[in-house]
Structure 1
């Protein structure tokens, strides 16, 4: 039996590598001689640097920057000086996990810390920069990134605006970057797999900002702000990117990267698949099952996250998919359309959620073993 293991992390519980290890133990307990091809993957969100680092020899660059609330932090990005390529994970400076629950507020957070990282990479000679999106604490449409690279924003009275989510609706004038005039040949790539537009019912604010601390009124305000920004950008810059699939990624940071830095959007899943050589594996080896998974499967999963990409991969090669998760909140019929075989929830409903989180590794191992054992009986 041959297995391809391509799970995401179980957020707050296990890293992708730990999930792979647990799945591997479960498979080995039933098929001791099974061949397992293990892929450390990311859809561009949290874990992007770990995935890239796993497949490429790159220098780790430490940088002083700011967290989503403007506090000083030290974080990292990856650099290849020979090819002048840099890899940045937005969540490292602008991520939700940098904030305590009570600090989450997309009206006050900014991506300026990620912008500082981008600027530092440019100053170190990077000419091609890949930015993994996802896990953001922000809904500022990338204004913070733009501000760190020299853009500024003013209200109708000429007052300089802080680049935070709550100020988007106040923008009247966009002042261009002097810094970027010296770096006209930069290649910027926004790496992510969601297909959300900038605003509207499936946009950045309505789909993602609640988990970042926004209440109903905040969400409405943020969405109106994103619409206002789009109109202002069209008027001031002649650019119209709000409806491009994926522009709503990372609180609209993808939109900001495209608008202010002329970024191209690329699929995070496909990017990692190419690094890992997955297509070569699938073309040269008969794979019996692809096993993927993440902590919670919800509507966001269907909008282009890692599992969606893995399921599409399995469907194209006609390989059955096993999806393991802590909990699933998605209608099974929707997942069937993605080409999966079975979704396995590891949670023990008789115990508190904390039990499943604390014991996720063992529960994954047991769940995989049980599923494969039942497959043998069929």
Structure 2
């Protein structure tokens, strides 16, 4: 029997690798002789770098970069086990968590640090860069990132514009002639789990601006400024209408418009990078999960991506989560065959976080007991 264990992280309590190890430990207590393969997963958001590094035997690189408000911040990226692929989470350099709530202002915040991480990855001589976008503090259309890589955004006086989404209205011309030439020989892939366009009522500013500190007046200004950027960028208005270009305050737009990147579903990129289909095709069962499984899980989240890939080979899939909502059963229509929660009774959230490893191990033991009973494995 081969059991593939492919969870996402359980946020605020376990990394994907720690979750996979807990599941394995619980199941081994009941089915010790099975072959277990651990594939820590992610969907392009927080934890993507660590999951891919853990799964491929890669390494973490640490760098100091420009933070959202222009200050130096510690950041990181990963080099996968093949030595040729770098993985970046833009939130590590330009994330909302790096800005105190009282200082959040997308008119001022910049994505420059993300560009500095891309440049650092290029310095490693990689041929493939995966950029996970999400959790940003920025709404600058990726201009800061592009500036860090040599792009120039000039006002009417021929001077570089300042940082932040508020400065985009002053752009008179864009000069990409000095972009880092190494970008031309690198495959740049964007892992994204949202479908928002750049502008409009479902765009970057309207949907994500408020959580970054924008009031209604600021949202209107930011949206107009992004529209102005798109009107000047090469093929900008056409690109701006594409799904995902509004991700990370318009960073998705810049990656496509200025760096010729490919924008794909985050979980699909991770599945491909981990050669998931090759690893799962001979499995008897697949165990997946994350901190919360709900009605939104079917929209590009890890458990469904894993389930769909497993179902190509007709393999049963079990989902384990910290919490299950009333609408979580919709996942049964998308490849997951059974759901289990690790919380067995009333419990305060801090207590659940502190006991998460034990709770997941215990629930996994119960899952293994059901499997053993159902398929008649001898003791």
Query: What is the TM-score normalised by the length of structure 2?
Result: 0.82
Give the aligned CA root-mean-square deviation in angstroms: 3.4
Contact 2:295 2:329 in 1 (8 A): no
- The 3 A distance-change label for structure 1 pair 83 and 104 is same
The alignment partner of 1:367 has SS state of: helix
Residues 14/79 of structure 1: CA separation in 2 closer, same or farther (3 Å cut) = closer
Asked if 2 retains the 8 angstrom alpha-carbon contact of 1:149 and 1:177, the reply is no
Structure 1 residue corresponding to 2:271, chosen from 261, 270, 273: 273
Distance 1:148 1:174 in 2: 17
How big is the shift at 1:201?
5.3
Distance 1:22 1:61, change over 3 A: closer
1:318 to 1:212, Cα distance in 2 relative to 1, 3 A: farther
- The match for 2:338 is 342
SS at match of 2:361: helix
- 2:32 aligned counterpart, secondary structure: coil
Contact 1:187/1:263 (<8 A) preserved: no
* C-alpha deviation, 1:39, in angstroms: 0.3
- The counterpart of 1:309, out of the listed 289, 305, 311, is 305
Give yes or no for contact 1:269–1:306 (8 Å, CA) kept in 2.
yes
Matching residue of 1:187: 186
Equivalent runs, 1:158-197 vs 2, <5 Å = 161-168=161-168, 170-180=169-179, 182-183=181-182, 185-197=184-196
Change (3 A) 1:181 1:363: closer
- For the 8 Å contact 1:171–1:229, the answer to whether it is kept is no
Following TM superposition, by how much is the alpha carbon of 1:310 offset from its aligned partner in structure 2, in angstroms? 1.0
Could you give the per-residue CA deviations for residues 34-62 of structure 1, whole angstroms, max 9, x where no partner exists?
32211022222223332333355667544
> CA 1:365–1:223 in 2, change beyond 3 Å: closer, same or farther?
farther
CA distance in 1, matches of 2:326, 2:152: 42
Aligned to 2:377: none
| 1:297–1:253 distance in 2 versus 1, CA, 3 Å | farther
SS in structure 2 at match of 1:33: coil
Deviation, 1:118, is 2.0
Among 350, 359, 363, which residue is 1:367 paired with? Answer: 363
Partners in 1 of 2:362 and 2:220 — Cα distance? 44
Query: What are structure 1's unaligned runs of at least 5 residues?
Result: none
Provide the residue aligned with 1:116 in structure 2. 116
Q: Which 10-residue stretch deviates more, 124-133 or 354-363?
A: 124-133
| CA deviation vs aligned residue, 1:338-359 (integer Å, no higher than 9, x gap) | 2212333334663322121222
Task: Please give the alpha-carbon distance, in whole angstroms, between the structure 2 residues aligned to 1:326 and 1:171.
Answer: 47
The answer as to whether partners of 2:111 and 2:143 remain within 8 angstroms in 1 is yes
Gap regions ≥5 residues in structure 2: 375-379
Partner of 1:293: 289
* C-alpha contact 1:90 1:133 (8 A) present in aligned 2: yes
Determine helix, strand or coil for the equivalent of 1:3: strand
* 1:305–1:27 distance in 2 versus 1, CA, 3 Å: same
Number of paired residues? 371
Query: Which residue does 1:261 correspond to in 2?
Result: 259
Q: Take 2:339 and 2:167, find their aligned partners in 1: how far apart are those partners?
A: 42
Separation of aligned partners in 1, 2:297 and 2:328: 13
- Calculate the TM-score normalised by the size of structure 1: 0.82
Q: 2:289–2:321: 8 Å Cα contact kept in structure 1?
A: yes
